[in-house]
Structure 1
């Protein structure tokens, strides 16, 4: 037992001794490298860099919007009555002018028959009054009364015919009709919602632009959009712009219209919108990791004569990995991209280009 213990302790001692020897050797090597990198009494920091070259860059805004139907109406009757017939299928397509429902019109037709009879009598009385007036058998006033009664009876017919026309409800435009809220035999009034009729052959896209970019919004310009759950991109054309900026949000409302013949865009859903701003022929893009936030904005380090020098920059749009630099660097500059957090202005650096 003691022999095994002694052997175990010896093995541990050998392991510890090997580890100490490895650390001493490594430290000596690092000291040698560090001594070789000393320039003017200062140590060169190892960093990575990138030579900036101008390339085309399309700037854009990523916005959220909502999709609306091209046309939508709540079908309601203009008069009260009993539903006699329903001539559409829920969720089906209907054409402009197609009859949707009929309201019982028996009472109105009886009133029309009565009005026609009164009109015939009033017309005959007016004809007789005219003959009597010519023979000076009645006064002008009596003739005027008879003539007015005739015109009133005629107008009454027109009123009843208009009421009869309202007993037939037709589709004002082609589209898809929704779920109905009535049944045959229901008593409906002008406040009753029969169903919604929606036209989605084209859809409208409503979104808002920050006031900073309102000068770039033009009618007939195109935008790109897509919806959640779909990778398909759609194109819409701006056709209407609100004339004033909303004071509460400092944004300008804009409407665009898109073709939806495939019925892939559903009204009421959110849309991810790409609004194009401008295309820069030689944009200067730097990796996002090269930017260092400071109190007055952002800075980067540039390589000049083997040293790192600070440069305040103005940034623009960004991609997943890069940021557009509007001012502060020039094409051909070497930007230090990583290992820069510990640098100071004028620090000597050893740069590996990527």
Structure 2
């Protein structure tokens, strides 16, 4: 028994002493301080929401075409005796200029014959007038009043007058055919192509070439119904002095350089395309080879251009970067006081590469977030960074210590300093 106690007693003493030591160590372990600072949020860049006026623009593309283009063709037959040196591919022509002349000899002879017929008809009419006067004198001498028109030679006189009118008509026709031996330009323009030369026999209606007017060119721009609504254009639109069409800026690369020309919308198409469900809007540029040219570069027919059509001006809308708009109508904003993400619905008016234009959901001066955020949710912790005009970056919503923590730190520093001084 005494031996068993001798074995157990040391073990019990060791357990008691060890337990007391562990308890003492645990009791003396310092309590970790709890930090009241918020966890730092995701760093995101943002730009301020501002107000302004919106000028809606709609972009479209189309091919430049002359407003007037015709096929040059003679109205008579004959052999070509003259072709204007300006009547060549790319040549400039003037209104009234003779382009092609057909041999006139046959038509000159026809005019001579027609004049002879007119002279004979005039002689016949004079003879009938004289005979009608003699017949009337004879009737008066005989005292006859109730006689037939034939006795007064009225039908013969009417026939002579009709013969003279027919002869004059034949002369006018012959002179008209003679005048048509010269094919003249009906407007100022340019020659697209020529298909005739001297010595060639031509027939009425045969193509001699193509010319187009250079006073106006037009571009057909296909637009959707929604685009027409943005521009404020009805389907049956026609420009007038009281209701001018929207301004259009055409652009293309000509000669390796970007060029621009300014025109206007003059009308809309008569019907909607059944296949594309679009309607053509026609824009014109005046004097494309003169005052309308860009530093001498004309907006020539056949050129493919991009057109930017200016629509109505919307006053006082909110403007944010395009990247701040998420989905169709959600805007990401940064709450700089709380350091939180705020997702708000907005009424989108228009968007383009320059920004998103909307109403409601935000106030001017708030920060719209442009950085991409994955798995975003309302109230998400963020740190908003704003790039200032001078290039520096301003951090909003940085974590700040509470006043109590600041005082505690100050007290501790004072105590340490005092103790250090005592030592």
Q: Shorter-chain TM-score: what band?
A: 0.7 to 0.9
Aligned to 2:93: 94
Q: Does 1:242 align with 2:259?
A: no
Structure 1 stretch 186-195 or stretch 314-323: which is displaced more? Answer: 314-323
* Pairing partner for 2:383 from 320, 340, 350: 350
**Pair 37,122 (structure 1): closer, same or farther in 2 beyond 3 Å:** farther
Give distance in 2, aligned partners of 1:113 and 1:269: 51
Matches within 5 A, 1:300-315: 300-304=331-335, 305-315=338-348
Sort the Cα spacing of 1:298 and 1:127 in 2 relative to 1 into closer, same or farther, 3 A: same
Residue in 1 aligned with 2:23?
none
Listed as ranges, the gaps of 5+ residues in structure 1 are: 1-34
Q: How many residues align?
A: 314
Q: Higher relative contact order by CA 8 Å / sep ≥ 6: 1 or 2?
A: 1
Deviation at 1:46, TM superposition (A): 3.3
d(CA) in 2 for partners of 1:243, 1:320: 29
SS class of match (2:305):
strand
| Partner residue in 1 for 2:308 | 274
CA contact (8 A) 1:46 1:339 kept: no
Judge conservation of contact 2:61–2:306 (CA < 8 Å) in 1: yes
Tell me how far 1:170 sits from its aligned partner: 0.9
Are residues 1:251 and 2:279 paired? yes
Q: How far off its partner does 1:56 sit?
A: 5.1
For residue 333 of structure 1, the aligned residue among 366, 382, 385 is 366
**Partners in 1 of 2:179 and 2:346 — Cα distance?**
72
Indicate the residue corresponding to 1:114 in structure 2: 113
Name the SS for the 2:74 alignment partner.
coil
String of CA shifts for 1:39-90, please: whole Å, max 9, x gaps. 4xx8733333333233455431122233222432221111122112112331
CA distance in 2, matches of 1:263, 1:79: 39
Partner residue of 2:322?
A: 288
Please, which runs of 5 or more residues in structure 2 have no aligned partner? Answer: 1-33, 139-150, 234-242, 291-295, 388-423
Identify the residue that residue 258 of structure 2 maps to in structure 1. 231
User: 1:145 and 1:246, CA in 2 relative to 1: closer, same or farther beyond 3 A?
Assistant: same
TM-fit CA distance, 1:105: 2.4
CA offset at residue 241 of structure 1? 1.6
Question: Relative to structure 1, is the Cα distance of residues 135 and 56 closer, same or farther in structure 2, using a 3 angstrom cutoff?
Answer: closer
| Structure with the larger strand share | 1
1:280 and 1:253 map into 2 onto residues whose CA distance is: 22
Cα RMSD after superposing both structures? 2.9
